[in-house]
C-alpha cells in the first residue's frame, strides 16, 4: 500500500470524491452511511455486540460519524497507511478515536477486534498483497467476530466510469466479487456472504426499497462480503 499516494490526495479527497460520484445524484455521506447501516443490520442479524471496531483504510474518516451513531457504545480503531489522512480524521473527529498507522502489519493483538470493516480499500492494494492483509485482519478478529468488506463492482458501467475518471483511483484495479470471495476463502474464511448494492441513482430513488430483493443480482454499483 502506497502511503505517499494517499498523503498526496488527503486534503482534496472529499472534494474530488464528491465531484466524481456526482453522476449518482448523491454525495459521499450517502455511500458512507449505507455501508455502516448494512453492517449494523448484519451485526443485529447474527447477534454481535461490537465493543471494538477496526476501520481498515479509514482515510479521512468518512465512516466514523456513522459508526458513532449506530455503534454508540463501541470503541473505534481507525487504521490507514496515510498519516496525513489520519491527521485530517483527528481534526474532524476530536473525540476518542484510536488512530493506527498501518506499516508492515496491523499493530494490534490477536483476537482483539469484534468487527472489522473496510470500505472500497482493497482495489488500491496490489493483488499479490491481498492474502497477507486479509490474514492480518483475520488474526486480529475475535472468534465469532464479523468482517465486512465493501468494494466497487467492475460489472457496473457507472462504477467503472467513476473509477476511471477519479484522480486518486489512478492505480486502482477493480476486483470481481467472486475473485474476492476466493481470496477470503484462501485467507481462512469458510462462509462468505456476497450481497450486491446500489442499483438506483438518486433520480429514481423511489425504487430503492426494491434493492433488498436484488442483492444476488451481480450488477449493483458496489458489493459487500460478510465473513464470520
Per-residue confidence (pLDDT) for residue 177, from 0 to 100: 97
Q: Which of 227, 198, 67 is nearest to 134 (CA)?
A: 227
Cα separation of 176 and 220, whole Å?
Answer: 12
Contact 148, 224 (CB under 8 A): yes
Per-residue confidence (pLDDT) for residue 13, from 0 to 100: 52
Residue-wise pLDDT tens for the chain (228 aa)? 555 555 555 555 565 665 566 667 778 889 999 999 999 999 999 999 999 999 999 999 999 999 999 999 999 999 999 999 999 998 888 677 899 999 999 999 999 999 999 999 999 999 999 999 999 999 999 999 999 999 999 999 989 988 887 766 778 899 999 999 999 999 999 999 999 999 999 999 999 999 999 999 999 999 999 998
Per-residue confidence (pLDDT) for residue 47, from 0 to 100: 96
Query: Residue 7's CB: how many other CB atoms inside 10 A?
Result: 15
Contact 142, 111 (CB under 8 A): yes
Per-residue confidence (pLDDT) for residue 18, from 0 to 100: 57
Contact 137, 110 (CB under 8 A): no
Cα separation of 122 and 211, whole Å?
Answer: 24
Give alpha helix (H) positions in 112-227: 127-140, 157-164, 177-186
Query: Residue 142's CB: how many other CB atoms inside 10 A?
Result: 17
Largest CA distance in the chain: 46
Contact 138, 188 (CB under 8 A): yes
Whole domain around residue 18: which residue ranges?
3-227
For the whole prediction, is pTM greater than 0.85?
A: yes
Number of structural domains (the chain) is: 1
Which CATH number belongs to the domain containing residue 14 in this structure?
3.40.50.150
The SS3 assignment for 148 reads strand
Per-residue confidence (pLDDT) for residue 14, from 0 to 100: 63
Q: Cα 208 to chain center, whole Å?
A: 21
Per-residue confidence (pLDDT) for residue 171, from 0 to 100: 80
Cα separation of 122 and 126, whole Å?
Answer: 8
Which residues, listed in sequence order, are joined to residue 196 by a DSSP beta bridge?
Answer: 223
Amino acid at each position: 500500500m502506497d502511503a505517499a499516494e494517499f498523503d498526496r490526495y488527503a486534503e482534496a479527497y472529499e472534494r474530488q470524491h464528491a465531484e466524481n460520484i456526482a453522476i449518482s445524484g448523491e454525495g459521499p455521506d450517502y455511500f458512507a452511511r449505507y455501508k455502516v447501516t448494512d453492517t449494523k443490520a448484519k451485526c443485529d442479524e447474527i447477534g454481535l455486540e461490537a465493543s471494538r471496531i477496526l476501520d481498515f483504510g479509514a482515510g479521512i474518516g468518512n465512516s466514523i460519524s456513522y459508526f458513532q451513531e449506530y455503534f454508540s457504545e463501541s470503541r473505534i480503531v481507525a487504521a490507514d497507511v496515510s498519516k496525513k489522512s489520519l491527521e485530517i480524521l483527528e481534526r474532524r473527529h476530536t473525540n476518542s478515536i484510536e488512530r493506527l498507522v498501518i506499516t508492515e502489519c496491523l499493530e494490534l493483538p490477536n483476537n482483539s477486534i469484534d468487527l472489522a470493516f473496510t470500505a472500497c480499500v482493497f482495489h488500491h492494494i496490489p493483488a499479490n498483497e491481498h492474502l497477507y492483509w486479509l490474514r492480518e485482519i483475520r488474526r486480529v478478529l475475535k472468534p465469532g467476530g464479523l468482517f465486512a468488506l465493501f468494494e466497487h463492482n467492475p460489472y457496473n458501467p457507472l462504477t467503472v466510469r467513476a473509477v476511471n475518471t477519479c484522480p486518486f483511483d489512478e492505480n486502482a484495479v477493480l476486483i470481481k466479487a467472486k475473485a474476492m470471495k476466493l481470496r477470503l476463502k484462501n485467507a481462512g474464511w469458510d462462509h462468505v456472504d456476497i450481497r450486491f448494492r446500489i442499483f438506483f441513482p438518486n433520480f429514481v430513488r423511489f425504487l430503492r426499497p426494491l434493492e433488498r430483493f436484488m442483492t444476488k443480482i451481480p450488477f449493483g454499483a458496489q458489493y459487500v462480503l460478510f465473513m464470520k
